[in-house]
Structure 1
């Protein structure tokens, strides 16, 4: 039985087109016919242990990485916007910004990647159909006091052309950071801060809160910057993810 298996292996190797293309006679890569064939290969011999399906996946991933890098190559993320320091979070779905206002307030901004969209009608006389309007969630914390115990927190929606305030929190002294509001939560932790839905406020108060943020650089210009930044980050993370999957398959 062992002899039959060895015979079959020899026949498969001798009839393989790949082996013929890599043979010493066709490529003259080995001056001596006594030199083993696999020593002549310019790449690692462990590739012979991979299945055709694995090699196919690797080839597809490599092509996709090349396409993404050439079609819309990402650039180095910005590290500053106006008075804010920008800190990217590689391999994560968000980034942070920090700054200090003229009133000696500490400002911390947390920004998600694109997390939603709405369909809006196209404008113009000949326009038909709809366009996609991408959404980014923005959390703005403004701290006052030497210990940073007093703070206002704004939950905002960043659209391409505007920044909208959705909710306002007053943080308590024993809770320095709240979480994004994700619907009703009956946890006792919610008792540590006061929440106000801005949509229930008087128009003048809504305008005043918006001006409060704008005076600290949180405005429509910031919203446009975030869309450009997150579009670039989306490409960076995609290429990085494709590379990680490729490395895993190659192991």
Structure 2
């Protein structure tokens, strides 16, 4: 028992003793530690600066290349009977037009959303493959505010416009699961032909598809340059 008490007293005594200050030898090492930490921070900042400088240099080079090699053109905001709504930074454009006195036509056009491989044209026997780009069109034809909408879903290739689907959209009282009609290719050939001609009579035709491809190629380049400029400005702050 006495042995236990002596051990307890020694433990209490050791805990209660004041902590000795840092020895002079350790004090002398503090500037060395601080110097090492400062050096490490400096190296980190240098690496960060080098990475950002390289990124900025590459962005400037890419922007200059795009502007010099094939700069974006200034397209008219009209085509045939349609006016064009194009907002900077968006991946679609909208066309509006009229047919006769009653019909309003609205066309929403995506940027390129697909492609298929094709053989390169031209002589020389070089062969090789190119790509044919695809975009989607939603064409809404209406006759007044309270009238239903006849909607065409179309595929636009550089040289052709194809109907994929035809809907009747109700502006009010639409059931939860409306019947949307069959696939266009399943319709009778004569009905397909008449619907195609109906759309073409309103200016939605191969010529429009050709124009939209040129317009979207230009928009794609413009948006790419704007995107790179925005990234550059952010990194450069």
| RMSD (CA atoms) | 2.8
The residue aligned with 1:107 is 105
| Pair 1:195-2:193 in alignment | no
CA distance in 2, matches of 1:133, 1:200: 25
Which ranges in structure 1 are unaligned for 5 or more consecutive residues? 13-47, 177-187
Of 48, 54, 65, which residue of structure 1 is paired with 2:52?
54
The residue aligned with 1:42 is none
TM-aligned CA deviation for residue 131 of structure 1: 2.7
Which ranges in structure 2 are unaligned for 5 or more consecutive residues? 1-29
Spell out, residue by residue over 1:66-108, the C-alpha distance to the aligned partner (whole angstroms, 9 max, x if none).
1111111002243100110001121111110001111520100
The residue aligned with 2:142 is 143
Of 149, 156, 169, which residue of structure 1 is paired with 2:167?
169
Query: Looking at CA atoms only, which structure, 1 or 2, has the larger radius of gyration?
Result: 2
SS in 1 for 2:166: strand
Count, aligned residues = 201
TM-aligned CA deviation for residue 122 of structure 1: 4.8
CA distance in 2, matches of 1:107, 1:96: 10
Spell out, residue by residue over 1:207-248, the C-alpha distance to the aligned partner (whole angstroms, 9 max, x if none).
100110111000000000000000000000000000011011
Of 46, 67, 70, which residue of structure 1 is paired with 2:68?
70
CA distance in 1, matches of 2:179, 2:215: 32
Moved more, 191-200 or 56-65: 191-200
Moved more, 117-126 or 87-96: 117-126
SS in 2 for 1:57: helix
CA distance in 2, matches of 1:76, 1:175: 44
CA distance in 1, matches of 2:126, 2:187: 36
TM-aligned CA deviation for residue 120 of structure 1: 2.7
The residue aligned with 1:204 is 190
The question of whether the paired residues in 2 share the 8 Å contact of 1:172 and 1:193 is answered with no
The residue aligned with 1:224 is 210
CA distance in 2, matches of 1:87, 1:205: 32
